[in-house]
Amino acid sequence: MGYYDDHSPATRQQKKRRGYMMPTVIGLVLGAVLVLLALPALVQTNLLPYNITVPDDENESTEDGGTIRSEQVEYDVNTQITDVVKEVTPSVVGVVNLQNQSDFWNSQNNPSQAGEGSGVIYKTEGETAYVVTNNHVIEGASEIEVVLHDDTRIPAELIGGDVFTDLAVLKMSSDQVEKVAEIGSSDSVKVGEPAIAIGNPLGLRFAGSVTKGIISGTQRAIPQDFNNDGQEDWQSEVIQTDAAINPGNSGGALINIKGQLIGINSMKIAQSSIEGIGFAIPIDSAIPIIEELEKTGQVTRPFIGVEAYGLNEVPSSEWQSTLNLPEEVEGGLYIRSVSQMSPAAKAGLEPLDVITELDGEPVNDIIDLRKYLYDKKEPGEEIKITYYRDGEQNTTTLTLDTQE
């Protein structure tokens, strides 16, 4: 019988597949052999990105009398960061803001959860533990609860808060407190060094979350508008970091690689969800405020008793026509109103006066005024004020009073 080949396309394709398959199989086999032969040499030269140990006494025999060398891969998941986080986490707590809500049916006030944030246990004294958090976290609270890292809830009492620094101090029972944060120094931090943020982003369901980054900047000045009138009321000096700080992280810990507390995280200062930019209140600036709140429940600051605004908020045409300022005046603080019986009133200051200097130092807006008073003066001290009235320069000395 003769051989018949219909030379169909299908037959030719099958032959082509068989022709391609054989070199592929041979290549895979040769590649595997080369890898097995080269692996011992790679291990000895330490070129692999992981450690391989080859115990001499753990060789196994095969059925044909050969041996299989067993190789054990070792990788240490413990790092300095994991050790630091494990040590610090028990000192970082959740802070729950409870506010009274009226019950329509029985006319009773029932506390309900109005917000969540974070806090740091910074001290224990006898049976009392002290927690620092952000002022905006506990603002308006009728009751406060602190949630430990093991979900234990402890009632806490507000000692005092300060809106300008956005800090508040709580106290609670120390019975179940395991760890107190170690205080570091924010003045010594350097740009580029590691920073770790610990807190409760988006609430207690993500309690104890850890983010890592670097110190992006120090002594940053961030404007604050407390009454939402569109005007800057204060400038907060903060640490900038790219460690993620989200809502709920407020009041949590910013620590260095040694596990020391260097800042109190504040989402309020960030004010918006911008990736890679977070802010924390420097611990060296926070400590005096914390200590004063702990002792007196409030921060005592001096005031002069005026409502004033920067000249940059006044049309330049009004500088001469209304305020009668000479051309050499380039900036200052014009007085809109003076409180009765205030230090300013007693010193003779009047509306439409323009303050240009405090103790010889120039002042341009309300932030300059507050910074000078709060950083360099105390209630009861005197201050020399240079001002213009009806185009003439005058000076007066007043005694600072305590801001209520």
pLDDT of residue 11: 47
Domain 302-402 top-level CATH class:
mainly beta
What is residue 223's predicted lDDT score, i.e. its pLDDT?
Answer: 78
CA separation (Å) from 141 to 35, 163, 206, 234? 67, 15, 22, 24
Which pTM value belongs to this model?
Answer: 0.72
Confirm whether 136 is a catalytic residue. yes
- The pLDDT of residue 86 is 93
Structure tokens at 115: 């917000």
Residues of the chain within CATH 2.40.10.120 domain(s) are 78-298
- Residue 4: predicted pLDDT: 40
Between CA 381 and CA 397 the distance in angstroms is: 10
The per-residue pLDDT string of the chain (404 residues; one tens digit each, 9 = 90 and over) reads 443 444 444 445 554 555 556 667 677 777 666 656 665 665 555 555 555 555 554 455 555 555 555 555 554 555 788 999 999 999 999 999 999 876 555 555 677 888 899 999 999 999 999 999 999 999 999 999 999 999 999 999 999 999 999 999 999 999 999 999 999 999 999 999 999 999 988 878 888 899 999 999 998 888 787 777 777 778 888 999 999 888 888 899 999 999 999 999 987 776 655 667 889 999 999 999 999 999 999 999 998 999 998 898 888 878 888 888 888 888 999 999 999 999 999 999 999 999 999 999 999 988 899 889 988 999 999 999 999 999 899 999 999 998 76
What pLDDT, on a 0 to 100 scale, did the predictor assign at position 18? 54
Give, in words, the CATH class of 78-298: mainly beta
d(CA 384, CA 340): 20
Point out the catalytic residue in the list 91, 118, 162, 166. Answer: 166
Q: Which of 91, 250, 266, 285 is catalytic?
A: 250
Residue with tokens 């341009």: 364
Distance CA 36, CA 392 (A): 94
Task: Check 91, 136, 162, 236 and give the catalytic one.
Answer: 136
**Which part of the chain is CATH 2.30.42.10?**
302-402
